[in-house]
Amino acid sequence: MNPPLVAIIGSPNVGNSTLFNRLTGSRKSIVGDEPGITRDRIYGDVEWKSKTFELVDTGGIVPDDDAVIPANIFKQAGFAIDKAQAIVWVVDARAGITPLDEEISVFLRNIGKPVFIAANKCESRKVEEEAAEFYGFGFDVTPLSAEHGTSIGDLLDDLFDVLEFEDEAETEVSDEIKLAIIGRPNVGKSSLLNKILGEERTIVSPIAGTTRDAIDTHFALDGQKFLLIDTAGIRRKGKTTEMAEKLSVIMAK
């Protein structure tokens, strides 16, 4: 039995991963000031009102960017949206409405699913009041701060009202086998994962260091359950320079 799925989407550096970590009570998604840190889909569970739903974090999207990494991030976000019951669209309330927000709003109006705007970075009354402009997109808006956790419950209440939960079955003892794929950058770890699963679960490109987060994927083969973990490429300590890469190596370990 699968719990309902909610997808988090937004433009780069608006706080998608901070909100994901806040809602799941984890640090699964790498967070930093550098735009584009999250690239693949990251999954986690959220518990609210004695119910559990699944949340998927996606990389910051730029719909019209045809470069290899942005185009694949948008493709991965599309996979998440297709499977989700509802969408949380994260925007930067301090920055106000941007041309990219306008572009994303057009895209979201055509998906036919409930969309909730999380107006992030509302750390003052002034910004919270200014966030009202996002109502112009025609979706429900929750001014909140993912970093400080304010108004997170309001967003969860809104989601809870539209999600369809199945009757929960008795918890079974897991016999899942965990397998980690590790290796140096650009040796084909993500390609191997996609081949095993028969789908584009992670972004694959000739660019070294494409995978940033540790990607967990559950699957079954001949009745046996597996948790397959794709990790970022690991280089020698002295050759790891960018903060995002250093965090990726920590997550892989």
pLDDT in the model for residue 72: 86
The CATH superfamily assigned to 177-252 is P-loop containing nucleotide triphosphate hydrolases (3.40.50.300)
> What residues are paired with 120 via a beta bridge?
92
The answer to whether the beta carbons of residues 249 and 209 sit under 8 Å apart is no
- Predicted confidence at residue 250, as pLDDT, reads 40
CATH T-level fold of 5-162: Rossmann fold (3.40.50)
Give the closest residue to 85 by CA, choosing from 65, 105, 57, 115. Answer: 115
CB atoms within 10 A of CB 155: 24
Residue 33 token pair:
């000031």
Domain with CATH 3.40.50.300 in the chain: 5-162, 177-252
pLDDT digits (tens, 9 = 90+) for 133-166: 999 999 999 999 999 999 999 999 999 999 999 8
Residue 22 phi, psi dihedral angles, 5° rounding: -65, -45
* Cα 179–Cα 180–Cα 186 angle in degrees, nearest 5: 140
Residue among 28, 27, 45, 47 nearest 153 (CA) = 47
> Which tokens belong to 208?
């070294």
Phi, psi of 51 (to 5 degrees): -120, 160
List the chain residues with pLDDT less than 70: 1, 28-39, 168-174, 185-187, 189, 201-214, 231-253
Q: At 251, which helix (H) or strand (E)?
A: helix 243-252
